[in-house]
Amino acid sequence: MGSDTPRAAILGVLACEWGWSVDRIADAVAEDFHGHGPLSQAERATLTSPIPLTDAPVGVRGDIPAWLEPAFLRVFGETAAQEGAALAERAPVDLRVNTLKADPARALKATAPLNAQTVPELETALRIAAPAASERAGSVETIPAFSKGWFEVQDLGSQIAAACAGEVKGAQVLDLCAGGGGKTLALAAAMGNTGQIYAYDSDARRLADTIRRGDRAGVRNLQIRSPVHTDPLKGLEGRMDVVFIDAPCSGSGAWRRHPDTKWRLSEETFAKRQADQDAVLDLGVQFVKPGGRVIYVTCSIFAEEDEDRVAAFLARRPGFSVRPASAQFVQHLTPEGYLRLTPHSAGTDGFFVAVLERTA
């Protein structure tokens, strides 16, 4: 629009994102009670022939904060602007079919009122396409099968990250940063109520809904290890087949769901998250047994939180080696064997997964 005022931003969105005609915009802004004032001749001219963005800087084309441009370029190179722009698009609603209660065919039929569709990446995933920018998405909670625990709302990338834990039936699994329990429930379903899954988070409030959600999902092999108790992880040292670490991070992979967070992220917070990631990795290795594996996951697209943290960990812990994160999603593996998903490359939220096997 040639201006950085709020009015210019609104006019640009109406024209370029919502597809309104110049006449419709003119009528809306000139309306007596709610209008922002008639269009100027300059605004009309710009809306009729918008300024192309082809020569704009990467940060403008990709909707990227200027201080993060080098980090984008480091990971994505020539496609940095496209990757950033994809992180600014409206996201679909993805569902994970809970195989403890239902099967994909039944869940698909139950979600027909929301036009859910299967996806080729995972048999147990369904997708409700994002509506137009000016429309509201349907409410998943209105489907009776949701209350019965047939499915959970979970981004496809998050489901794929959980699947990178590999074969977990009969295993001892620790979800070390369980949060609200989304990946805990995905792991429990993959376990088929065999073995034992332990859910822990350093913030007890994040675990508040996990028991309720687990009951609704029919999970019977879940133990909550809450930090309200003294030494909540005592007795798990060196016993786990899988330690799943969904590490605290910038959340950059989920910017399309929380677009304000990219502008609130600071360099100080970015650095603190990297220190948190180092700390949680060092905590997690205490619980994995020889031959077991650590699944390191972030919903970040930045190498500073992903490859760099794994490299630093391996330098500190020579008794671990990298395994390819997935045989099913080889097209999304990096040369090192890590999994990287983004809205642009995979149609999912941004995720990074490293599988680290304890060899000694």
Domain ranges in the chain are 1-51, 57-86, 93-153, 156-358
Distance between CA 1 and CA 8 in Å, rounded? Answer: 6
Q: Which top CATH class is 93-153?
A: alpha beta
Distance between CA 305 and CA 129 in Å, rounded? Answer: 30
pLDDT of residue 29: 92
Q: Which run of H or of E encompasses 261? A: helix 261-264
Residue 16 is given by DSSP the state I
pLDDT of residue 149: 97
pLDDT of residue 250: 97
Parts of the chain with a pLDDT under 50 = none
SS3 226: coil
Distance between CA 120 and CA 124 in Å, rounded? Answer: 10
pLDDT of residue 129: 95
Question: Which of the four CATH numbers 3.40.50.150, 3.40.50.2300, 1.10.3720.10, 2.40.50.140 does domain 156-358 have?
Answer: 3.40.50.150
pLDDT of residue 4: 86
pLDDT of residue 49: 85
Strand partners, 127: 94, 117
Strand partners, 261: none
- Angle between helix axes 156-163 and 182-191 (nearest 10 degrees) is 50
Distance between CA 346 and CA 139 in Å, rounded? Answer: 25
* pTM, rounded to two decimals: 0.92
Distance between CA 41 and CA 356 in Å, rounded? Answer: 61
pLDDT of residue 94: 97
Give the E-state strand segments of 90-236 in sequence order: 93-97, 117-118, 125-128, 151-153, 172-175, 196-200, 222-225
pLDDT of residue 207: 92
Task: Work out whether strand 93-97 and strand 151-153 pair parallel, antiparallel, or are unpaired.
Answer: antiparallel
